[in-house]
Amino acid sequence: MKKAIVVGATSGIGRGLAKILAENDYLVGITGRRSELLERLRNENPGRFIVSSFDLVGADDVPFNLDKLVLELGGLDLLIISSGTGDLNEKLDFETEKRTIDLNVTGFTAVCDWSYNYFEKQKYGQLVGITSLAGLRGGRSAPSYNATKSYQISYLEGLRQKAEKSGLPISITDIRPGFVDTEMAKGEGLFWISGVKKAVRQMYRAIEKKRKIVYVTKRWRLIAVMMRILPDWIYNKI
């Protein structure tokens, strides 16, 4: 049986990925801040989940908690980082920005570093980061969210280069969702919004194929291309 950890499994995409992994013969370590939601998920499929409730903010205890969880799992083949936050912040409240940076940058980096070092030591493994299409350009409504997602995309690319240079079979997968119907989908006029189940199915297939970069749902690849080539004077008016 394969072993996986889903960081941020209490709701939304993380919860959906944990469920689909358990349905496909994985033993899954599930983490998050809200222990009651993790316990509820474990009760849906007893024997397939191991619960470890901890917060990525602060990051100091991340290595200890992940070490402990891997011991309980009996190994690790796959780690998915689905934990993240972001709020609309037109008035640039610093506490809102800091909260996003603490989790999406500091916490994310702590998990990435621990994961890569673990997989390098065992000489194989797969790290998956749920980033965002928003990381391709800046955004006036939630500046720190777009910026931190850009950081995540770049960090995963750096780890992918590092893995390829090492020659080890360590896969780094960057999943960039568009709008998915979760608590993270904020704002008015959202379009092409996907249900969680559909998005998670596409993500799982991409993970199994060890894809490097994935847009979910697939149609968002077109928007990604447009975002990259759109001149600033047009993008700034959107």
- Point out the residues that are catalytic: 145
The one-letter code for the residue type at 40 is: R
Q: How far apart are CA 117 and CA 28, in angstroms?
A: 20
**Would residue 187 be called left, alpha or beta, if left means φ above 0 and alpha means ψ between -120 and 50 degrees?**
left
Q: How far apart are CA 44 and CA 97, in angstroms?
A: 35
CA distances from 39 to 34, 42, 80, 96 (A): 9, 5, 19, 29
- Name the residue among 57, 175, 143, 139 with its Cα closest to residue 105: 57
Around 49, how many Cα atoms within 13 Å sit in the side-chain half-sphere?
28
Q: How far apart are CA 162 and CA 170, in angstroms?
A: 9
Q: How far apart are CA 25 and CA 33, in angstroms?
A: 25
Structure tokens at 61: 């205890």
- Concatenate the DSSP letters of all residues of 121-185 into one string: HHT-EEEEEE--GGGGS--SSSHHHHHHHHHHHHHHHHHHHHHHHHTS-EEEEEEEE--BSSTT-
